[in-house]
Homo-oligomer: A and B are copies of this chain.
Amino acid sequence: MALSVEKTAAGREYKVKDMSQADFGRLEIELAEGAKITGSLHMTIQTAVLIETLTALGAEVRWCSCNIFSTQDHAAAAIARDSAAVFAWKGETLQEYWWCTERALDWGPTGGPDLIVDDGGDATLLIHEGVKAEEVYEKTGQLPDPASTDNAEFQIVLTIIRDGLKADPKKYRRMKERLVGVSEETTTGVKRLYQMQANGTLLFPAINVNDSVTKSKFDNLYGCRHSLPDGLMRATDVMIAGKVAVVCGYGDVGKGCAAALKQAGARVIVTEIDPICALQALMEGLQVLTLEDVVSEADIFVTTTGNKDIIMVDHMRKMKNNAIVCNIGHFDNEIDMLGLESYPGVKRITIKPQTDRWVFPETKTGIIVLAEGRLMNLGCATGHPSFVMSCSFTNQVIAQLELWKEKATGKYEKKVYVLPKHLDEKVAALHLGKLGAKLTKLTKDQADYISVPVEGPYKPPHYRY
């Protein structure tokens, strides 16, 4: 499989590996005892390097993607042949998606994985829902009922659990018992974890990798600044200059998207619920309005909120002919795809895979929806570039090592943790050389003056960067 070799030859991929070996070599012995890791995270070239870093550190790995469109099939194939069990392909159905997730978690009769690398929280969700169902079943004999929910995807989750339950009514509880912890990649998954922590339902320790500065302020921001226009261009070849673009949400992802669109010559309008983020948008010269204000005048719409029901079918009906609608938030419920699909008389014309034109019957005009409302940068392009993913995944590796190292010490309870700042700074430091940067060194006298150690960490925990 030549392609993975090519990428390796590009040097970037070796970066994370070398780094880990150099800096965490002494920890290798622990993962080398054979930690079993399940990952649910976009199966791309960059993730392939993460997987091979984990296996090089001694782990056994099973992997699925966390998005039906994000798998790069050559990356999946290379890993499947050389390094780990992989269950992922581009263009899964939702049934297939959850089957893959279940496969990746299934390590046979001894229980599930020791560690989970999660992105969006679907692997974590499946275990939590599984445990819940098993407990109900044990107490009441009642099986989960897919018809109890309107949510089509959750019906599938319940079906999978139900179907497995009779065969093995303790599977998920064995998983829970074995599991040392999860490290979670993204805002959406982290939000779920904090909700479970607040409700007291979290079943195992979790490290919030998303909120490492070198993750959320790099991957979410600079990654999207790169991959949003990449996805737009590959999917539509549209000229961004001169267009009116609406970015829904001005968090880290929205900031990256708005910056990219503005720099490419679009006029950008932001929608926000949070007055602080709104004021930030204004300070950058962006207009802040509601979607209703601009729905019929804009050319490009991007959702970045992490919330649901942002662009509804009633919005889409009012858009200009060939307005482009896409989502770069984790889940596909930011855009009302269900409402669109079930709109009476609507016609879907597939221009090419992941680029659909939907024509409304009244107006005969249509809109272009990318990646069926799922992450357009992964569905229509190749996601974030390696450099920024190297920052994110170095945090993942550190988190996995930390959970594993402390597995017997009780350091981590059933709570959500972030990595300590000196590790965050270390991740950044490891990436400076590649870009030719030279750091200034504090003198002892200067360090004392600002009350920090000479070698860092340099900022208080509340510092915002």
Contacts and interface: CB of A to CB of B under 8 A. Distances in A.
B289 A438 contact: yes
A61 interface: no
B226 A240 contact: yes
A29 B437 CA distance: 54
Contacts of A322: 9-11
B242 A435 contact: yes
Contact of A381 (B218, B233, B297): B233
Interface in A262-288: 262-268, 271-288
B439 A225 contact: no
Contacts of A222: 239, 241, 265, 283
Contacts of A263: 263-264
Contacts of A465: 276-277, 280, 464
Interface string A374-405: 00000001101111100100000000000000
Interface residues of A, number: 113
B234 A234 contact: yes
A279 B428 contact: yes
Given A285-B241, A285-B265, A214 B11 contact: no
Contacts of A142: none
A425 B418 CA distance: 25
Contact of A11 (B237, B287, B321): B321
A309 B6 contact: no
The number of times this chain is found in the oligomer is 4
Contacts of A387: 238-239, 241-242
A215 to B, nearest CB: 11
Nearest to A234: B234
Contacts of A244: 436
A387 B237 CA distance: 10
A291 interface: yes
Contacts of A437: 278-279, 281-282, 287-289
A365 to B, nearest CB: 9
B9 A349 contact: yes
B450 A191 contact: yes
Contacts of A275: 425-426, 428-429, 432, 439, 456
A278 B237 CA distance: 23
Given A265-B285, A435-B243, A464-B465, A309 B191 contact: no
Nearest to A381: B233
A308 B464 contact: no
Interface string A434-455: 0111111111011001110000
A99 interface: no
Given A309-B446, A456-B274, A432 B282 contact: yes
Contacts of A460: 194
A213 to B, nearest CB: 5
Given A222-B241, A279-B431, A438-B293, A450 B306 contact: yes
Contacts of A443: 309
A276 B195 contact: no
A366 interface: yes
B237 A382 contact: yes
A307 interface: yes
A103 interface: no
Contact of A239 (B217, B226, B321, B366): B226
A218 B279 CA distance: 9
Contacts of A6: 349, 351-352, 357
A438 B271 CA distance: 8
Given A217-B464, A237-B385, 4 more contacts: A11-B322, A216-B464, A275-B426, A307-B442
Q: Across chains A and B, which 5 residue pairs bring their CB atoms closest together, nearest first?
A: A239-B385, A263-B263, A288-B437, A275-B428, A275-B429
17 contacts: A6-B349, A7-B351, A214-B279, A222-B283, A226-B233, A230-B230, A234-B234, A242-B283, A263-B264, A267-B285, A267-B287, A278-B437, A287-B437, A288-B432, A307-B446, A308-B449, A309-B446
